[in-house]
Amino acid sequence: MICLKDIVKTYNKGKSNAYEALHGISMEIGDGEMAAVIGTSGAGKSTLLHILACIDGYDSGEYTIDGEEVGKISERQMAQERNEKIGMVMQDFALVEGFTALDNVMIPLDFADRKRHRKRKERRERALEMLELVGMAEFAEKQTNNLSGGQKQRVAIAWAIVNDPSIILADEPTGALDSATTREIMKVFRDLNEQGRTIIIVTHDPEVAEECSRVIRIEDGRIVNEDFDNVD
Amino acid sequence: MTWKYAVRECRMHVVMSVLCLVQAVFLFAVVIGLLSVFMARYSGYQPVRKLLEQNGFISNMVSSVHLEGDAEGRQVHSSEAYEEMLKDARVYGQYRVHAFVRDDQWVAEAREEDVFHSNMRAYDDEWIQGFVPRLQSGKWLEQENTEGRWLEAVVLQSSDRYKTGDTVYLDNNSMTVLQTKIPIKIVGIIDRNSDIIYKSNGRGYMDYHLLFGNMAEETEGLDIISNTNSSYMSETFFVSKRNLDSVQEQYVDQEAEENLSENYENVPSTGKTIFFTELEGVVLIVMDRDCPQEVFEYNKNRIAQISQFHFLHDLDYIKKNTWHSIMTGISDIIPAGAGMLLFTIISFVTLSTLMYQKNMRKYSIYYMYGLTWRGIFRIHVLYISLIVFAALVLGTVVAHVAGYFGIWKKIAVQIGVVQMGGCFAVMMVLLLSASLMCLSLVKGRSAKEILQEVE
């Protein structure tokens, strides 16, 4: 369960060009939900997602994941949360150039807590399994710079789910893709949601939003509308 | 994990890594070269530094006499007796001992012809502790307990007459025959090429070299001119003065006994010593650092009054000359070396920072997927460390090769603790400055901000 309460985020705080990107956002997202966050450009939806992904901070309010307040945990614990609980898919895919698809997918496994004691062979098998799941097994040894946009996004999804996170956050995951590939990628997300994962997708594409069971509209850093029953 | 990703960095940035490597190799080679020059010069001084960096004088004495009192006109036979004639001074003396070691036949002939040569010298404890010459075998003198029944000696010889473990007997350098034969256990043989603190043959130096004599150098000409070396140089027995005194104490009564010894009159008249000793060779006269100038001057004048010597110098003067000769040439290139060090550090840090900046996107992705900034920083520092360590190894090889092929003329490249310490210090400076620059790039910014910035 993700819970936000009065989250405020100000950029360039204390400077003349300071501006408040989020003005007291509050919301709850239950386990297994598939939600879309929509809004115009600059509305604050990406900022919200980055806070949810624990890669950006907030100035006030309370953010809890499964009852644990993110603001109060150590940097190390937060890194562990990012590694184990959250999978992130970015619009620009956020893959490491010069690494193969397999190397990329193995990164979260390499960073995973040492308590898991996964051997290299096991990590490799797990990464291949994830690439297989997104239909990219045959491209495992290919460098990511040689893949198409859709292929890169699939690798990014494999990467996001390799540590079996309960939450998957996606920032404009289909923004750089054509409509056919968009449909394929959305199918992957739906499948992941059906497996019980919480999915939150930031998008300005109404077709993508329609695929989600809940739509949260943000404008000027505030939630203006929530549709809890988006899909029949 | 850190290793895996650090090594991967090396593979991914070959050109940048090689540029950093080349600079650091050059830097380490120069550091090793400079320190080798310094150490080659300093290593001779280092063993005697404590002795010479005191307040006082160094003298190469020929003889010293008492000017007043009961002993007036007689030779000074101990450093204590010499000290009594000075103010607040300590004397580290060497002694010519009027005794010799030779086989019986030789002794008999010498007595018949009344021709004797002393071949024994004694050191005060300070010399024994202060400098150990290079030994061919055995060990150096110690102040261990010999119960006064035998002497321990190390031998300097031009032939192979004596070996470590031999026991020989001491005779008196006079016409009188000793009642008892005093045993000498040879505990070590001095390397013929070693410098020894003996009769200074300073070789024209006005620095710490004044302390030393060198048998090989002194006898080089003699070996060519004649087959017979000068008799006193063919072998010399070095003993501890303290050991000599305690042995004499054990045997002196026996030697003084009338009717048993021809020496009975001689012994009491020399203050219960069997072997006459006189201060001779290199002697240090030291005073406290805070000793008044008047006392210093008084002692200097007094030494000139009571002693004959080849030279008498202030220790501060010798110390100054020593450092001057060690640093000659080096001090000229220190500014250039420091400039080069600074330049290399700046360009190394710049390259390393550029690499870090180039990697910021990747590092932000690492952060997003569960690594802390500390963990990322560790990867980068390990990556830089790998380059620096490889540079250290290559720099050492380059310095060796340059020395071997004579590219660095007159530099005997050595890899010792000091050279490695110098390289380690440079390594730390490189790593610290590179790390601090990288830290300053991340400080206070979120992964998202960094990611957005590099997009």
ipTM of the complex: 0.87
Residue B299 has a pLDDT of 93
Nearest-by-Cβ selection for B370 from A57, A80, A96: A80
Examine the domain organization and report whether B339 and B416 are in the same domain: yes
**Residue B181 near residue B283 (C-beta atoms within 8 A):** no
pLDDT digits (tens, 9 = 90+) for B40-59: 888 888 888 888 899 999 99
Over 80: is that where the pLDDT of B245 sits?
Answer: yes
Residue A232's pLDDT is 46
Give me the pLDDT at residue B270, please. 58
Which one has a higher pLDDT value, B41 or B407?
B41
pLDDT at position B231: 44
Q: Measured between CB atoms, which of B362, B374, B455 is closest to A96? A: B362
Indicate yes or no: CB of B5 within 8 angstroms of CB of A110: yes
CB B238 within 8 A of CB B94: no
Count of domains observed in chain B: 2
B133: alpha, beta or left? (left if phi > 0; alpha if psi -120 to 50)? beta
* Mean predicted confidence (pLDDT) in B389-408: 83
Contact A83 B447 (CB under 8 A): no
Same domain, B281 and B333: no
pLDDT exceeds cutoff 60 at B106: yes
Q: Is the pLDDT higher at B332 or at B294?
A: B294
Lookup result for tokens 């009594």: B84
Torsion sign (Cα): B287, B292, B297, B299: negative
Q: What's the mean pLDDT in B226-247?
A: 72
Domain holding B133, by residue range, is 54-325
Q: Residue B297 has what pLDDT?
A: 93
| B400-422 average pLDDT score | 77
Q: Spell out which residues of chain B touch residue A94, defining contact as CB-CB under 8 Å.
A: 365, 368, 451
B371 CB neighbours in chain A (<8 A) are 79, 83, 111
Q: Which residues of chain A have pLDDT under 50?
A: 232
Nearest-neighbour CA in chain B from A231: distance (Å): 31
Mutate to test the interface with B, among A73, A111, A113, A123 (most CBs of B within 10 A): A111
pLDDT at residue B261 is higher than 80:
no
**B368 and A88 in contact by Cβ < 8 A?**
yes
d(CA A64, CA B136): 79
Tokens of A130: 């994830």
Closest by Cα among B200, B236, B232 to B217: B200
Whether residues B282 and B228 fall in one domain: yes
Say if residue B150's pLDDT is above 90.
Answer: no
Segment B175-178 long-range contacts (CB within 8 Å, at least 24 positions apart): B175/B111, B175/B114, B176/B261, B176/B262, B176/B263, B176/B266, B177/B111, B177/B261, B177/B262, B177/B263, B178/B255, B178/B261, B178/B263, B178/B274
Q: How many contacts, defined by CB atoms under 8 Å, are there between A and B?
A: 60
> Nearest CB to B369: which of A57, A83, A97?
A83
Report pLDDT for B263: 57
Nearest residue in chain A measured CA to CA from B4: A110
Confidence (pLDDT) at A160 = 86
Cβ separation B449–A88 shorter than 8 A? no
Report the pLDDT value the prediction gives residue B240, as an integer from 0 to 100. Answer: 92
Beta bridge pairs of residue A167: A86, A198
Q: Which of the residues A110, A116, A120, A145 would you substitute to probe the B interface, choosing the one with the greatest number of B C-beta atoms within 10 Å?
A: A110
Do B61 and B185 reside in the same domain of the chain?
yes
Q: What is the pTM of this model?
A: 0.66
Please tell me which residue, A224 or B118, carries the higher pLDDT value.
A224
Q: Do A96 and B5 touch (CB under 8 A)?
A: no
Task: Out of B325, B347, B374, pick the residue that ends a domain.
Answer: B325
Structure confidence at residue B334 as a pLDDT band (50, 70, 90): confident
State mean pLDDT over B76-80: 88
Task: Judge if B149 and B232 occupy the same domain.
Answer: yes
Contacts of B402 (CB under 8 A, 6+ apart): B29, B33, B408, B411, B413
HEC string of B233-280? HHEEEEEEHHHHHHHHHHHHHHHHCCCCCCCCCHHHHCCCCCCCEEEC
The residue among B325, B356, B390 that closes a domain is B325
A178-232 pLDDT per residue, tens? 788 788 888 888 988 998 899 999 988 888 888 888 999 999 889 887 666 655 4
HSE-CB at B190 with a 13 A cutoff on CA atoms is 28
B232: confidence class by pLDDT, cuts 50, 70, 90: very low
Q: What is the pLDDT of residue B6?
A: 87
Chain B residues whose CB is inside 8 A of the A84 CB are 370
| Nearest Cβ partner for A56 among B4, B366, B448 | B448
Q: Are residues B233 and B361 in the same domain?
A: no
State the nearest Cα–Cα gap between A112 and chain B, in angstroms.
7
The nearest CA of chain A is from the CA of B366 a distance in Å of 8
Residues from B in contact with A at Cβ < 8 Å: 1, 4-5, 12, 362, 365-375, 446-449, 451, 455
pLDDT at A136: 87
Residue whose entry in the numeric block shows the structure tokens 């996001």: A160
Same domain, B70 and B189: yes
pLDDT of residue B257: 66
**Taking 50 as the threshold, does the pLDDT of residue B365 lie above it?**
yes
- Residues of B in Cβ contact (< 8 Å) with A56: 446-449
Task: Provide the token pair at B257.
Answer: 């006994």
- Residue A175: list chain B partners with CB under 8 A: none
Which pLDDT value is given to residue B225? 42
Do both B321 and B335 map to the same domain? no
Among the partner residues B365, B370, B455, nearest to A112 by beta-carbon distance? B370
Cβ-Cβ contacts under 8 Å, B447 against chain A: 55-56
In degrees and rounded to multiples of 5, residue B185 shows phi and psi of -95, 125
Taking the CA of residue B12 and the nearest CA in chain A, the distance in Å comes to 7
Strand partners, A65: A2, A68
- Determine the average pLDDT of the residues in B336-362: 82
Contacts of residue B9 in chain A, CB cutoff 8 Å? none
Q: Are residues B134 and B231 in the same domain?
A: yes
Q: Which of B369, B374, B446 sits opposite A107 (nearest CB)?
A: B369
Contacts A95 to B, Cβ<8 Å: 365
Report for A189-193, B7-11, B451-455: range of highest mean pLDDT: A189-193
The answer to whether A185 and A157 have CB atoms below 8 angstroms apart is yes
- Residue B441 pLDDT more than 80? no
Two tokens at A45? 């939806």
Would you place residue B210 in the very low, low, confident or very high pLDDT band (cuts 50, 70, 90)?
confident
**Cβ separation B371–A111 shorter than 8 A:** yes
Domain boundary among B325, B358, B381: B325
Q: In angstroms, what separates the C-alpha of A27 from chain B's closest C-alpha? A: 22
pLDDT (mean) for B165-170: 88
Note whether B239 and B372 are same-domain residues: no
How far apart, in whole angstroms, are the C-alpha atoms of residue A45 and residue A66?
22
- For residue B93, the model assigns a pLDDT of 92
Which positions in chain A touch B1 (Cβ < 8 Å)? 110-111
Compute the distance between CA of residue A5 and CA of residue A64 in angstroms, rounded to an integer: 9
Chain A CB contacts of B5 under 8 Å are 110
Q: Are residues B283 and B343 in the same domain?
A: no
More confident residue, B384 or A230: B384
Q: B96-100, B345-349, B371-375, B440-444: which range is least confident on average?
A: B440-444
pLDDT at B429 exceeding the cut of 50: yes
State the smallest CA–CA distance between residue B9 and chain A in angstroms.
Answer: 10
Q: What pLDDT, in 10s, does the model give residues B284-316?
A: 999 999 989 999 999 999 999 999 988 899 999
Q: Are residues B339 and B269 in the same domain?
A: no
